[in-house]
Amino acid sequence: MGAALLAAILVLVAFVTIAPTEDERFSSSAGSMEAVARSLGEGDELEEQTIGNLSFEKVFREDGLVYFQQGRGWLGDRAFGYVWSSHVQPRDVEHVEGPWYTYTDLED
């Protein structure tokens, strides 16, 4: 029993240490995400999408910005994810790279 538990712990540790980070998953997914961003028209929305190595609750274009919403905070009051903006830096975001930003919004 002790050997099985130790083996399970070692497998879990190995999985966690070799699993790609959020930054690595984003970097490998950004090209596919940008293709989706460029294809969406104003007001378009996609529900539950996996793009590259990232999953999103929804992807939508609003006011020229394309939001890749990953989820909501534990209280359900904050949407978060990535936003793509090829022309301007959106407000209240953190720059990631190129036209990519992360956001956390308080829902009304």
Stronger pLDDT, 61 or 88, i.e. the higher one: 61
Does residue 48 lie within any of the structural domains? yes
In a domain, 10, yes or no: no
Q: Is residue 98 part of a domain?
A: yes
Q: Are 50 and 56 in contact (CB under 8 A)?
A: yes
For residue 62, being part of any structural domain is answered with yes
| pLDDT range class, residue 1, cuts 50, 70, 90 | low
- For residue 7, tell me if it sits in a domain: no
- Output the CA torsion 84→85→91→95 (10° steps): 60
CA angle 2, 7, 13 (to 5 degrees): 125
The pLDDT value given to residue 70: 93
Does residue 13 belong to any structural domain of this protein? no
The range of the structural domain enclosing residue 89 comes to 22-106
Rounded CA Rg of the chain: 17
Tally of structural domains, the chain: 1
Q: What's the residue count for the chain?
A: 108
